[in-house]
Structure formats: structure tokens, C-alpha cells
Chains A and B, each alone.
Chain A
């Protein structure tokens, strides 16, 4: 299909790192249990370091829950942590511990971040949190997400290699454009 674009622009509802007016916005649709997303995780970190204030990074949920049994719960854990302002810490913990995403593990990560456990558990199954994840998923499909991870650079789907060097080159050329 021709060029796919984000149907929902990056906004208030998103989790983002970096300045809103950064010349580059990188959006990832990802699944915490997906091994490819796990491999992309340190690459994105390196890109963030490399580009500094030039790059804003946004993560949206795309749990493939039929093949990854913990993917949806992991996404809920990150969204619940977000309710206490700790989305990115949880996001990082999940990707750094992809093999351990059972409910007990998720609770332990919440504790290690000193989250209010009762509130975390309540937010974890809050219908608004569940809906947020579902909305990310649906909008992702409409934007042409065809697997995970799917990346968008300044609203346009990036279908080339996301290995560090190739991705970096592409971002450099995008910022110059």
C-alpha cells in the first residue's frame, strides 16, 4: 500500500520523552513481550542519546495478546504506572525483563518503583486503562501497523531497517529535510 501515516497525531494522550517541538518525532507501536521489540529497545535508547533534544520518542501499545499471553497485562502495568507518573520507568523495566511478565512480576516492578500498590492494582484493571490500550491498538491498525515493532518518523511509517546505523541515517536525513 502507499505510504502509511498515523491516523491519530501525537498528543496529550500519548506517553512521550523529549520536547514537543523537537524536529523529529519517533513513534513506536510495541508489545512488551515481543522479542523484536525487546531487541529494538536498546536501539531506541541509543538513538535518543544520539539525537538528544532533536528527538521526541512516543510509545503506543500494540499487544499481540493471542501469541503473547502476558502482553496485554504488561501494557496495563505500564499504563497503571503512568497514573502515578512513572510510565517510562515501568516501560523500561518491562523491556529489560521480557522473560518475567507474570502478574506477580508486574506487582514486584510496581513495588520496586515505590508505587502505591493498592492504587496500582486498581488502575491496572481500570476500564479507562484497558480502553486506552485498545484505542492505541485500533488506531495502530488504521495507521498501517502490520507487526511489532512498527515505527513512524514524523507521522510517516518507517519500513526500512531499524538497526542503529540505518535508523540513525534515516533520522539524520529526515531532520535535514
Chain B
């Protein structure tokens, strides 16, 4: 399995964000989306990684970009983490069937049953423009995401 590359259409998905709500990728058509796959809630590296993205809320908003976190943890676990860390972005549960969406994006780790640490920047038309697979123990930071957002073509109709 290998990570989906730039130029590929981002596979549609619909995953729970709370016990009674689902979020679909297609809801964000018309704006860039940053997909952050990570192995587990509460683990120290992801914590730092997501804390950094939470801090960059304004920077991402300047690109009208929406950030979405995805792991195989359950919704209650996600809710507890999001509340504890005051996250400004949704965390989706890829728990059932385990890792199905992670598999679609080529970032599921069969050996331990969790999502890999991977980043995707998807443009307003739903095409992957940048993807990156990080070593599992390494926080990839945000410089790659910001560079990819900057490289997106400016939206038509935006006054120049």
C-alpha cells in the first residue's frame, strides 16, 4: 500500500465526528482541506503535532482551509481529547471498519492496525495537491502544509 500522490482525486468519505454526527469530505468542496492522519489520540507526538496545528488556526483560515484529523480512535476518545486540548478542528473516527478511510488514502498500517502519520492538502476541486508520509515517531510540523497551501492556484473570482 502506498500513499496517494499529488494529482489524484481525493477519495470521498463520511466518518463520525461525534456519536450522532458524520462529516463528509464533499462538504468542503470549494475550499482547501488539510487531512491529518495520525496513529493515536493522547500519544505524545500526535499531541504536539495537533497542538501546533491548533495554534495555526488563523494561518490556515487565511487560506480558507479546513483542517481535519483522522485516526482509528473512537468518537468518545476524540471528544475527550478535543475538549482537553481545546482543538478548533474536528477529529474523525476511522474505527469502523477499522482504518477503512486510511486504507483508501494508502496510509493504514497493517502491522499495528492504526493510521500512519500522514498529511494531505486537497484543493477546492477535491484533488490532492500534496501528500507526505512521516516516520511514525516524527512530528512533521507545518512547513510542508503551508508551502502546499501557498502553491495552490488563487481562486477565480478573488479580486486581484
Contact = CB atoms under 8 A, between A and B. Distances in A.
Interface string B1-23: 00000000000000000000000
A1 interface: yes
A142 interface: yes
Interface string A134-154: 000110011111110000000
Nearest to B88: A66
B54 A66 contact: yes
A146 B146 contact: no
A4 interface: yes
B27 to A, nearest CB: 25
A146 B51 contact: no
A171 B59 CA distance: 34
Chain B interface residue count: which class?
Answer: 20 to 34
B139 A1 contact: no
A64 B52 contact: yes
Chain A interface residue count: which class?
Answer: 10 to 19
A100 interface: no
A67 interface: yes
B49 A146 contact: yes
A138 B62 CA distance: 13
A145 B51 CA distance: 12
Contact of A64 (B55, B88, B138): B55
A65 B55 contact: yes
Contacts of B86: 66-67
A146 B142 CA distance: 7
Contacts of A147: 48-49, 51-52, 139
Interface in A103-152: 137-138, 141-147
Contacts, number: 51
Given A1-B132, A141-B146, A142-B146, A66 B139 contact: no
Q: Which among B85, B140, B143 has the greatest number of chain A C-beta atoms within 10 A? A: B143
A171 B18 CA distance: 48
B113 to A, nearest CB: 25
Interface in A148-163: 159
B132 A146 contact: no
Interface in A11-29: none
Contacts of B55: 64-66, 137
A56 to B, nearest CB: 24
B141 A145 contact: yes
B56 interface: yes
27 contacts: A1-B140, A1-B143, A4-B141, A64-B52, A64-B55, A65-B55, A66-B51, A66-B54, A66-B86, A66-B88, A67-B51, A67-B54, A67-B85, A138-B59, A141-B141, A141-B142, A141-B146, A142-B143, A143-B143, A144-B141, A144-B143, A145-B52, A145-B141, A146-B52, A146-B140, A147-B51, A147-B52
